[in-house]
Every structure is written in structure tokens, then in C-alpha cells.
Amino acid sequence: MKNKDLIIKILSKSYIFILLLLMYLPVLVLVIFSFTDTVNLFAWDVFTFDLYVRLFQNEEIMTAIGNTLLIALISSLLAAALGTFGAIGAHELGKRSKRVYEFANNIPVVNPEIVLSLSLIIMFVFLGNYVFQGFEKSFWTLLVGHLVLTTPFVYLSVKPKLLQMDPALYEAALDLGCTPTQAMRKVTYPAVLPGVMSGFMLAFTLSLDDFIITAFLTGPGLLSGQESIQTISTYVQGIIKKRPLPPEMRALCALILVAVIVVVFSIFFYQNKKKGALKKRKGRIYERA
């Protein structure tokens, strides 16, 4: 029996190791070859930072990066606000109204992006032909598409924090002389802030990574000027139809990976530091008691 358990344990760990290897080995190879100028990924040339230098000198790539970050930042900030207010409003609704609201919120979550994109472009064309004359895709149509994609996820991130909050705290704030706005700002918002931050990060990631909605709804604006807005995803899709990707993209992928690792570790250390401070505070309270 012990041998059988040992074999199962070894096989399960080997399975996890193989999965992790298949997931991260291509990324590791990409990072390693971002320090060489060779086109062939199976032939190492000379260690150099030329790809990183050329990356920042490539105007097309830098414009795509700037557009991507601007769209992601603007849409995630608006989605965080809309999703938070929507979650707080839905929290105060009756059971039947809340079910309807949550059902409507979950539709964009489970719907494929292609369905969202087609429905949005049909809506914009209809409004352009019958309501507002002269429909043209622009930054605003793209922003609406990203908001439709990301706002429901912010709602789902804030909702659990509202359920965890003691409703008596808000009522106590009103009894102590706060106006509803002050009670919201001093009681409700601090309680849901972790959910708002996680929803903002999720919305930022979804917007940063989106391709289908961007491809359908993009128009002129932002750093592209009068030309159609190019994000990283649409830029890559447009390049691979004509020629191989430029080697500078390896450097870009490496920088994105480093940025993600820094953010994840920063959040991890912040949470550990916060837990440590909370334990010390509880220890002092017990000592005084």
C-alpha cells in the first residue's frame, strides 16, 4: 500500500512538473534569446542588448505599446468606478431585482468575445444610421467595447466584499451623524477597497490582452492620430500576415514578463507585511488584556 501511494505521489508531482515545464519553457527560451540578435531561435549568436535598444527606437511598436497602455488604464479606471457603484447599488436591491441585475451582469462574462464584438458593432452602425448620422469607429467605440468586457468582472470582485461587510457599520455611521455620502466614503468604500483593487487589476489585464473587441471596434485616435488605433495585439496580427515578427518583440515580451513578476511579488510581499502587522497588533492586544 505504501509503495502504491509513493508511486501515485511521484506520478502526480511529475505530471505537475511536466505541465509547468511546457508552460514556462517557451517563455524562458524567449527571454534568453531576447539577448541575441539572431533571427533563428535555434542558433545563438552574440550576447547583446541591441534588441532592447531597437525596441525603444521602433516607432510602430512604441505607438502600439502606448495605445495599449492608455486604453487599458482609461477603461480599467472607468470599469472600476462603474463596477463598484453597480455592486453597491445592486447590494441594496431586493432579491428579485438583484437576481435580474446579476443575470444581466453575467451575460458579458460567459458570452464569447466574438458575440460581444458583433453585437456592439451592429449597435453602433444602427445608431449611426438612424440616430446619429455619419457613424465612424473611433477611440470612443473602442472604449465602450472594453468597458462592456471589463466592468462585469469588477462587479464580481466587489460583490464578495460587500457580502462580508457588517451592515450595522453603515447604519452606525448614520446614527453618529454621517450623511449617506460620508458613510459611504468612510465605511463602505474602505471595506470594498481590496475588491476594487483586484477588479481594477483584472480589468487592466483583460483590456491589455484583448484582441477581438479591439479589432472590431478600433478607429482613429490616441497616439495613432488619424490612422486606426494599433495595440500590441492588433500590431502583431497585422505583422504576421505580411512577414515574420521583428526580433524586437522578443525584448518586449521579456519586459512584460519582468513587469508581471515585479507586480506579483510586490503584491505578495505587501500582503505578507500586512498580515505580519496584523498579527503583531493582535499580540499587543492580548498582552494588554
Could you give the 3-state DSSP secondary structure of residue 8? helix
Helix axes 59-91, 139-164, angle to 10 degrees: 40
Question: How many whole angstroms separate alpha carbon 228 and alpha carbon 64?
Answer: 11
Question: How many whole angstroms separate alpha carbon 120 and alpha carbon 111?
Answer: 13
Per-residue pLDDT of the chain (289 residues; tens, 9 = 90+): 567 777 778 888 888 889 888 888 888 888 888 888 877 666 777 888 888 988 898 888 899 999 999 999 999 999 999 999 998 888 888 888 888 888 888 888 888 889 988 999 888 888 877 777 767 888 889 999 999 999 999 999 998 888 888 778 878 888 888 888 888 888 888 888 888 998 999 999 999 888 899 988 888 878 877 888 889 988 888 888 888 788 888 888 889 888 888 888 887 887 777 777 667 665 665 566 5
Question: How many whole angstroms separate alpha carbon 204 and alpha carbon 73?
Answer: 6
Question: How many whole angstroms separate alpha carbon 32 and alpha carbon 4?
Answer: 40
Reduce the secondary structure of 72-116 to three states and give it as a string.
Answer: HHHHHHHHHHHHHHHHHHHHCCCHHHHHHHHHHHHHHHHCCHHHH
Helix axes 139-164, 113-130, angle to 10 degrees: 130
Residue 220's beta-bridge partner residues?
A: 228
User: What is the rounded radius of gyration, in angstroms, for the C-alpha atoms of the chain?
Assistant: 24
Question: How many whole angstroms separate alpha carbon 235 and alpha carbon 223?
Answer: 14
